[in-house]
Amino acid sequence: MTGQRLSVTRRTVLRGAVAAGTLAGTAATLRPTLASADPSRGVVVLGGGVAGLTAAHELAERGFDVTLYERRALGGKARSIPVPGSGRDGRPELMGEHGFRFFPGFYRHIPDTMRRIPFAGNANGVWDNLIAAPEARFSRRDADDVILPLGRAGRIWATPDDFRETVGSAIATSTKMSESDALYFANRLLVFNTSCDARRYGQWDKVSWRDYVGAGRRSTEFRMLLSRTLTTLLVAAKDDLASTLTIGNMGEQFLGNPLEVANDGALDRLLNGSTNEAWIDPWVARLRELGVKFATGEVRGLDIADGRITAARIVDGSGAARQIEADYFVCAVPTEVARTLWSPEILSRRPDLAGMSQLMVDWMTGIQFFLKREIGIARGHVAYVDSPWSLTSISQNQFWARTPVTGLGDGTVRDCLSVDISDWNTPGLLYGKPAKECTHDEIAREVWAQLKAHLNDQRELLADADLHSWFLDTGITWDGANKRNTNADPLLINTAGSWALRPESHTADIENLFLAGDYVRTNVDLATMEGASEAARTAVNALLEVSGSNAPRCRLFTLYRASELEPFRQLDIARFKSGQPNLFDAPL
């Protein structure tokens, strides 16, 4: 096959120092002053999800010429999906989603980028399209539901005992859990929060969350809320698989930071319109203004010689195979795609990539129910705690002030209940089959039945007459011959022991290859938009070093840790090194 050289140029450096803080505080453009550069040099970004768009954004702001290849749709798992044929009488089509968007306050990288995406009428760009959800609901079958107000707590603790009592009391009061269970969990959270890094990565990452919290010896309420629900909501993983490192990090942010210190905003935030309208489309427009070029293409392989990637083998939008040459390659495709690219020649240079073959992916995918009336379920997210398919939902119209659902479709839709299915492997209520083995119609009926079983046990909140239509993520495809679904967009699962299997963004062994997927080791350590953004920034910083650029490095943020507990983390360094348990780690 004849190689085709991509005409992309690397404009090497910014003249003059630009403070890194300038990149975060405003939607204003970073305008580089460019030095002369070899016109044959450039950057290819493979993948147009959050990681790829972030890498392209950071590189373009620093004067690089970038071409991005995406196989299907820009935005990846974060995109909106128009419902084909749903618009009537000049109205836009209804909007589906791979899953509802959730922007916790401890996210820092995504909001930093959002502030640099201009949006008409917004002083802070796309960031101003984020709005806070004031509450969350935990719905149980045949039991009282718990509605939690979300907001800053009135005080913070001063000592470990105060931590246990404050967190334990808050859990017991808000969940109706026994005081002994609540205090026990608060102590397990204290153990993690006072663990040093060496223990977190060397011990807790190797332990499943269920074993860490001793769920098998606690109450049903404890197992459902603090073991099962936490893991399925965050990482679509079962509690016997999920890494304590990952779940502990999230618990430290949600429960260990009552005053939201160092947060970007409120604990739970959503967009005020469909994801494409409120975020992705303005982002792509901004990248085009910065000179990023977009092309349809699916990467099938990487050629390597003398420790450098010489070309990416692409099948373009017309189905033609091409070789794309450039000086730098940013691989921003997801886990299950990236690991197919690691040829024996690449693995001989970077043996650390071999561990990716053992990383686990599973499904966490959305379905939207379009309703004929607004449903007052909750002013925020709802977790259906004991639903077989680990469902969560959000009623969108109450938040979509920018483009209400009522203005979409045929004019009769009044709300959209957007539901995430986190467990595709457990049999459901109606058909006794897991979601992977259900037809699309069966999936819709099953999810609807599980929602009603939770919401209608006290009074009817959801009626069949409310349903206008439904839409399942197009990444889910029914294979009639094998009587099961396939999924084009699985999710990386942070299982126990998976940290050792995940690579760094860059090593000198292949000097011009940079990894920017959410499987890369990151501080946030979670397969999310935030993890993808952090990984992309790390990749760009490595590229800047290799290229000799003096452009300002991308800002990187770390997760919050309570300063009040820092002396105990320092103490834990010596304890872990000598083989002793954490000071507060009492026998389970």
> Percent of the chain having pLDDT more than 90?
78
DSSP class of 223: I
pLDDT class of 458 with cuts at 50, 70, 90 = confident
For the chain, give every domain's residue range. Answer: 4-65+291-357+497-547, 81-133+268-273+364-487, 152-259+561-577
Cβ proximity of 125 and 118 under 8 Å: yes
Residue 117 per-residue DSSP state: S
Q: How many CA atoms lie within 13 A of 421 on its CB side?
A: 33
Q: Give me the pLDDT at residue 228, please.
A: 75
How many of the other CB atoms lie within 10 Å of CB of 402?
A: 14
Identity at 96, one-letter amino acid code: G
Q: Show the tokens assigned to 61.
A: 């702001």
**In contact, 299 and 313? CB cutoff 8 Å:** yes
User: Across the chain, how many H-helices and E-strands are there?
Assistant: 16, 23
| SS3 state at 557 | coil
Per the DSSP assignment, residues forming a β-bridge with 44 are: 67, 329
DSSP 421-450: E--SSS--SSSSS-GGGS-HHHHHHHHHHH
Residue 506 clears pLDDT 90, i.e. is over it? yes
* C-alpha span between 377 and 380 (Å, rounded): 9
- Which residues have a Cβ under 8 Å from the Cβ of 48 and sit 6 or more positions away? 68, 69, 70, 73, 74, 75, 76, 294, 332
Query: What does the mean pLDDT of the chain come to?
Result: 90
pLDDT score of 343 more than 80: yes
189 membership: H or E segment, kind and range: helix 179-193
HEC string for 246-259: HHHHHHHHHCCCCC
What average pLDDT does the segment 278-302 reach? 97
* % of the chain beyond a pLDDT of 70: 92
**pLDDT score of 25 more than 70:** no
> Would 4-65+291-357+497-547 and 81-133+268-273+364-487 be classified into the same CATH topology?
no
Fold of 4-65+291-357+497-547: FAD/NAD(P)-binding domain (3.50.50)
Q: What is the pLDDT of residues 46-101, one digit of tens each?
A: 999 999 999 999 999 999 999 999 999 999 999 999 999 999 999 999 999 998 78
Average pLDDT over residues 211-228: 84
How big is the chain, counted in residues?
A: 588
End-to-end CA distance of the chain: 62
- CB-based contact 386:379 (threshold 8 Å): no
- At 101 the pLDDT is 83
pLDDT 10s digits, 470-504: 999 999 999 999 999 999 999 999 999 999 999 99
Closest CA to 230 of 249, 205, 217: 249
Helix (H) or strand (E) holding 529: helix 529-547
Chain centroid to CA 582: 30
> What are the b/e assignments for 514-542, b being 16+ CB within 10 Å?
bbbbbbbbbbbbbbbbbbbbbbbbbbbbb
Residue showing tokens 């073959």: 357
Does the pLDDT value for residue 126 go beyond 90?
Answer: yes
Task: Please give the CATH architecture assigned to the domain spanning 81-133+268-273+364-487.
Answer: 2-Layer Sandwich (3.30)
Beta pairing class for 476-479 and 80-82: unpaired
